[in-house]
Amino acid sequence: MLEIPEHILEVVPTYRSLMVYFDPLAISRDKLQEKITDSLARLKTVTAGDTIRIITIPVAYGGDFGPDLEFVASHNAIMPSEVIAIHTSVPYLIYMLGFTPGFPYLGGMSERIAAPRLKTPRVRIPAGSVGIAGKQTGIYPIESPGGWQLIGRTPLTIFNPSGPSPFLFAAGDYLQFAAIEAEEFSAIRNQVASGSYTPSVRCIARAEA
């Protein structure tokens, strides 16, 4: 296991880098860089597990749940139903969580439904909103500002700081979106609130992903 020096205050991972916050009164930048470089040289390669988790995320698309679905469709010269079909057709790899607690940055979205960010971000986006920005799709775990095109909403709780596990998923998992109707959205939301709903999770061999 890699030993973390006590003068490192926090580390923040991204797609391809790691932000390191440190106490400059306890160690100089050059000395810390030397220690990190030495630690990386001794770090052993970690092999991913043989299986992966694919978590099904139910989503009500369009209407009040996804006010930008029509725009995404017209922007790509396709029907809203095609946007939904494409968006739900494949599982998406979670590369990282960030922006807000539990926000998944997903890879693998088809360019056929890519769309630009809003010119003016919304001040409030409901928790659970599913959006598209450029060639990416993601879920807003909590109510927050944001500039992604909203195509739907999930009734699941993505981030629960008081729960035994605050996050519904983790980097390395896959998400598979599944279209539901408004009535089913309400039913699932009630089950989530009562603690009686368990998201569908399937494990498959990594080679099949």
pLDDT for the residue 46: 56
Do 112 and 68 lie in one domain? The reply is yes
Do 92 and 37 lie in one domain? The reply is no
Do 158 and 102 lie in one domain? The reply is yes
Higher pLDDT, 97 or 46: 97
Query: What total number of domains does the chain contain?
Result: 2
Answer yes or no: is pLDDT of 204 > 60: yes
- Tell me the mean pLDDT in the region 66-80: 98
pLDDT single digits (tens) 6-65? 788 888 777 777 888 988 888 898 988 888 888 778 776 655 567 889 999 999 999 999
Higher pLDDT, 109 or 15: 109
pLDDT single digits (tens) 153-170? 999 999 988 877 889 998
| Inter-CA distances, 136 with 99, 104, 142, 148, 189, Å | 14, 10, 19, 9, 26
**Rounded (10°) CA dihedral 186, 203, 97, 70:** -50
Helices (H) and strands (E) in the chain, counts: 4, 12
Do 17 and 60 lie in one domain? The reply is no
Do 182 and 91 lie in one domain? The reply is yes
- Tell me the mean pLDDT in the region 182-191: 96
pLDDT for the residue 104: 93
- Tell me the mean pLDDT in the region 116-135: 96
Percent pLDDT > 90 in the chain is 60
Q: Which residue type occupies 164?
A: P
Query: In terms of residue numbers, what domain contains 28?
Result: 8-42
DSSP code of 167? B
pLDDT for the residue 62: 97
- Tell me the mean pLDDT in the region 88-109: 91
pLDDT for the residue 73: 98
What is the number of other CB atoms lying within 10 angstroms of the CB of residue 205? 9
Burial 32-64 (b: 16+ CB within 10 A, else e): beebbeeeeeeeeeeeeeeebbbbbbbbbbbee
Do 172 and 75 lie in one domain? The reply is yes
pLDDT for the residue 53: 92
Answer yes or no: is pLDDT of 207 > 70: no
CATH number where 92 lies: 2.40.100.10
pLDDT for the residue 47: 58
Do 15 and 91 lie in one domain? The reply is no
